[in-house]
Every structure is written in C-alpha cells, then in structure tokens.
Structure 1
Amino acid sequence: MSKPKLIVISTGGTITMTSGQGSKGIAPTLTAADLLNAVPQIGQQADIEALTFSSMPGASLATSQIAELAHLIQQRFDGGIDGAIVIQGTDTIEETAFLLDMLVADRKPVIVTGAMRGAQAAGADGPANLLASVIVAGSPQAAGRGTLVVLNDEVHAAAFVKKGHTGLTSSFISPNAGRLGLVSEQRALFTSSSGMPRLALSRPGAWPDIAIVKACLGDDGRMLDALPGLGYAGVVVEAMGAGHVPQCWAPRLSGLAAKMPVVLAVRTPGGPVFTNTYGFPGSEIDLAGRGLIPAGLLDALKARLLLGALMGNNETVEAIRHQFMRFSNLQA
C-alpha cells in the first residue's frame, strides 16, 4: 500500500524556536526540513514535501498571509497532494485554523499544529505533535472534516478549539464540542462523528477591519461611538453571560448597527449566545431587535474572522446572518 503524499508548511512559532548564544529567550530559527529531520519516524508514515512559508511567532501572522497560505494549500491539493500540515505558533492557532477551514474548499485534510515548548526544552512537545499531525493527515477518516488542530495527541475541530492555558502541553481544548479524536499507537482514532459546519468561502479581495469590543462591569460603551471614525467596517461585541451588555450600551449599539454589521458573541468560555430567554434592555432579545447578529457557538475571535471574510466578499447583512446561524443550528 502506497504512503500518502503530504506537505508540511512551517510559518514559525515556538516549535521552531531555539536560543542563540547570549540571547535573552528563544526565537524562530528552524525550518520545516529541520523539524522533519528531527523525527525520523515521520518517513514511515508518509512521503513528505517540506516548505518554509515564513519564520515568525504566531502573534505576528496576518489574515492576508493565512489567505495566501490557503491558496497555496489548495494549489498543492489540486496537484495531487493528499493532505497538508501547517506548523505555527500556538498564540493564534485557534484563529488561523478557523480561517483555513473557511478558505480551503476541499475534502482533503488540513492539520494545524505547533508546540508549547521550544525545541531545546526538556520534554519538547514539537516532535510528538508533528508526528501525530502526519498520522492524522494521512488517515482516510480525516477526510471531509475540514481543518483540524492536533496537539498533545488530541484532535480538535477548527471551529471550536481554544488555547486554554499559557504553558501546559495540554493547553488546547474545545469547550463547546469536545475533542474529535486522538492519536494512539500510530493511528488516528476519531471518537466523534458529529459534522462541523463547512463554509468554503472564496478568498476575499480585501480584508475589512473588524473590531472586538468586550463588555465589562461599569463600562459605558463610549468606545463604540468611535469605531466608524477609526475606519472599522464591522464589530463583534463580546457580551457578558448569555449575550448581555450594560443597559446604556443598547442605544449606542442601535446606532452602530445602522451603519455596519454588529455581531453578538459571549465572553464565557463555553455555551452559545442565547436568542430567546432574557428581555431586559441590553439583553439578547433586545439586542437582536436592534439588528445585532448572534454568533451562535463561535467565540469573538472566530466571529471576527467570519465577519471579515463575508464582508470581504461583499455579502449582504442577511447573508451574513444566515452564515452565523449555521453555528447556532450546527448544520454540517
């Protein structure tokens, strides 16, 4: 039986970082080929093409670069590659994986991985994460599941994965869905058959600026009034509880929603935005009546990316609302 043909693309991140002589801390130095050469078992799993796309920390990646990366992956898929592994910094994995999930329209698997510890650290997790990612990317069961995040031998869906800790190798979690599977004895085992919504959006011609504004105790919302003048084209409100903001925010949000799309997400780690329970001023029912779009189970970070991609494709407000509804109804 022939081995799958995979491409491993490195953008940088902790997994590529080492400390130079006399340096203060670690920084990206290793290439994709360097990382693969450190894990000889990978050659037993697949035929690998190595590509270094960039060499930077995850916090410095831009949406335009991820869109370019998605285009590159689709080109490789069209050329016969069976799966792709993207290596990057863990700071933004939850965002870039979701963006790739939107922009790569293919059943072939895209895996995003990285490391919580640098390459020279005791117990460095990068080699194990890379091997697990290759195993998942080469698994027939991974096909059609969209972009997946693989770290700590766990498999997560791009739509719901979050970085849950600053340092633990078990950092990545999916509060609203749980993990999709795991890697054990050199095999990918999928423990969930639930389908995730697939969006398959075209690559936006331009990325509009989308703000995230977080509601907090005692804030009067004056920042909302400044957003149009600052050049923002849309906003995601990260609301309290089930989708609530201070009462004084409500009229400000009415005015803002008349000028631009406003999406309502929640700041809680788990649970959806409510739509039909609370009716006080500033509640989810009140805000929906003022034109805000519920984000469903998407958190603010991912809601921002979806809104930006849809606006970049010149979608109407109703089309935007429909796409967000898919993360309330979990229609695959």
Structure 2
Amino acid sequence: MDLPKLAIAALGGTVSMQASHVGAGVVPAVSGEALLTTVPELKNLARITVETLGLHPSASLSFEFLLSVLHWANAQVEKGATGVVITQGTDTLEETAAFFDYLWHHDAPLILTGAMRAASQVGADGPANLLDACRVALASNSRCRGAQVVMGGQVHHANSVRKTDSLALQAFSSPVVGPTGMLLEDSVRYFHEPSQRKLLPLPQRTTQAIALLESTLSAETLLLDNILDLGYDGLVIAGFGAGHVSEQWADAVEKIARKIPVLIATRTGSGATAQASYGFTGSEMDLIGRGALMTGFLCPRKARILLWLLVGCQRQDELACFLARD
C-alpha cells in the first residue's frame, strides 16, 4: 500500500526538553528525529519527513521565525505532503496557531501540538500528542479546516483555543465553543463542518509594533500617554468585563485612536466584548464612539496577532470585517 506523505517540523518546547543532570531544569534538547523514535506506530501510517527547525522555548519564538516555518510548511505541501505537523512549546501555542491560520492557504491540514511534561519525565505526553496530531493531519475530514491544535486527545480550532492552566496535563480548552473534534479509537471525529475562513497574504512589512496593555484597578495612564511617541502602529487593550476601561484610560484611548488602530478585548478569559449594553464613560459604547473597535470573542493575544498581520499587509482598514467574523 502506498502510504501518504506527512511532514513534521520540530521547533523545540517542553516536548523536546530534558535535564542535563539531576536537579537541573529542563531545556530544549531532543530533536524532531529523536522524538519520532518514541512513536514507532507512525511508520505504519505515513512516509515521514521530519526536520528540526529550531530548539527554542516557545516564549522566544518571533513572527519572523514563524514566517520561515510557514515557508517550510508551504514547500512540504507543494512536494505532496497530505498534512503538516508542527511541534513546539505550549506557552505560545495558541498564538502561533492563530498566526498560521490567517496565512495558511492550503486545504491540507496544518496541525500544532506540544507537551505539558518534558521528554525526560515519567508519563511524558509528547509522544501521544504527536501520534494524535499525525492522525489528525492524515485524516481526510481534517481538510479545509486551517490550523488546528491537538492536545490531550482533543482537536481545537486555532481561533478559539487557549492555554488555560499553567502546569496541568489538560491545559488547553476552547472557552464557550469547546473543542472542534476529538480522537476516538484512533480516528478523528469532528463535531462541526469546516467553517469559512478569511485569509491574509504574507505581510509585506514585519517591523510594525503592536502594544498589548491590560486594564487594572486604578491603573495609571503613563504607558498609554506615550504609546504614540514610542512608535507603536497599533494598540490592543485587554479590558475589564465586556470591554471596559477607566475614565482616564478612555480619554487616552480617544487620542490614540485618532492616529493608530485601537482594539478592545476582554481580559476575562471567556466570553465576548459587548457592543451596545453599557453607556458609562469607559464602557464599550463610549469607547466605540471614541474610535476603538471591539474584538468580540477574539482574545487580546490573538487580536494583537491579527492587527500585526493586517498592518503588515497594509489592510488595517479591514479590521472590522475580520472582527465581525471572529
């Protein structure tokens, strides 16, 4: 039987980490090729191409590096890969997935996975997550779904998945909407049909800077007052509740929104920003009147990625259209 082609890229992260000696903290050390040896079942599922593109903790990944990974993934599909799997650290997995999803123009699945336990730990979950991710990438019903995250036997869409626990084995969830699918007896079961995706071209510019600030009780405005002078091209605020800030912040937002895009998300971790519920100074209605946009269900971190890409493509005038989808 002619097996399908599957491409795997290793970027580092906990899935690749081990300690150099007893008592030392774990660091990225295990290559993608070595990780593959922990999942012998894969050789019966596909012809595997694996490359170690980096051994980085995911906190140190950059947009420029991710664009190079995307270039590699595009090349694999053009060479006939049925799907692409990327292993990386979980700290920024939700952000990386969103970044790729806006730029992935193929019908072939792009699957991201990682681990919560280091490769050297007893009960390491990396091999199982990698096997699950490969099964999802090879499944015909995974096509046309963009970038997805596979962790702990669940499949999550890139736009909704979040890391909601710092250390627990089941650290990923999709608030409000739940996972889009799951692994059941080695097969992939989806709960919904693929949704329509709005895509972006590769950014022509990568030097743009987007600030992300969180509203907190009695917060000063010093950073807000200097956003424009610092050269930022956009601002995302993780607001209180349904997208609210203090009266002092509202005044600052109005001045900033005259010059650069300002997005207001919710810092709560679940739910959407409102549009027409509250009317006090600093409420969502007030902020919209001052020129800000509400991000809906899109979390602050993913909103920052969307704004970075749109500014890089010189398409920030389409913000409202993208936010309406999200």
Under a length normalisation based on structure 2, what TM-score does the superposition of the two structures give? 0.97
Of the structure 1 ranges 19-28 and 89-98, higher mean CA displacement relative to structure 2 is found in: 19-28
Paired letter, 1:210: I
Conserved? CA contact 2:145–2:194, under 8 Å = no
Q: CA offsets, 1:102-156, max 9 Å, x none?
A: 1111111000000000111111000000000000000001001110100101100
Residue 223 of structure 2 is aligned to residue 209 of structure 1: no
Conserved? CA contact 1:147–1:157, under 8 Å = yes
CA distance in 1, matches of 2:177, 2:202: 27
Tell me how far 1:51 sits from its aligned partner.
0.7
Aligned-residue identity in percent: 36
1:258 paired residue number:
258
CA distance in 1, matches of 2:98, 2:256: 27
Of the structure 1 ranges 21-30 and 59-68, higher mean CA displacement relative to structure 2 is found in: 21-30
CA distance in 2, matches of 1:264, 1:49: 42
1:330 paired residue number:
none
Secondary structure of 2:91's counterpart equals helix
2:222 paired residue number:
222
Secondary structure of 2:260's counterpart equals coil
Residue 116 of structure 2 is aligned to residue 116 of structure 1: yes
Residue 326 of structure 2 is aligned to residue 296 of structure 1: no
The 1:159–1:270 alpha-carbon spacing in structure 2 relative to 1, beyond 3 Å, is same
Conserved? CA contact 1:149–1:155, under 8 Å = yes
What are the equivalent positions in structure 2 for 1:124-163 lying under 5 Å apart?
124-163=124-163
2:19 paired residue number:
19
Tell me how far 1:286 sits from its aligned partner.
0.8
Conserved? CA contact 2:97–2:147, under 8 Å = yes
Secondary structure of 2:56's counterpart equals coil
Conserved? CA contact 1:294–1:325, under 8 Å = no
1:323 paired residue number:
322
Q: CA offsets, 1:67-120, max 9 Å, x none?
A: 121122112112211100000000000000110111111111000000000111
What are the equivalent positions in structure 2 for 1:260-299 lying under 5 Å apart?
260-299=260-299
CA distance in 1, matches of 2:205, 2:316: 16
CA distance in 2, matches of 1:186, 1:316: 42
The 1:31–1:102 alpha-carbon spacing in structure 2 relative to 1, beyond 3 Å, is same
Paired letter, 1:200: L
Of the structure 1 ranges 250-259 and 214-223, higher mean CA displacement relative to structure 2 is found in: 214-223
Under a length normalisation based on structure 1, what TM-score does the superposition of the two structures give? 0.95
Conserved? CA contact 2:82–2:108, under 8 Å = yes
Residue 193 of structure 2 is aligned to residue 193 of structure 1: yes
Runs of 4+ in structure 1 off by over 6 angstroms are none
2:96 paired residue number:
96
CA distance in 2, matches of 1:132, 1:158: 16
Secondary structure of 1:9's counterpart equals strand
CA distance in 2, matches of 1:45, 1:186: 11
Paired letter, 2:252: R
Secondary structure of 1:86's counterpart equals strand
Paired letter, 1:198: R
Q: What's the C-alpha RMSD, in Å, of the aligned pairs? A: 1.3
Residue 43 of structure 2 is aligned to residue 52 of structure 1: no
Paired letter, 2:35: L
CA distance in 1, matches of 2:170, 2:322: 31
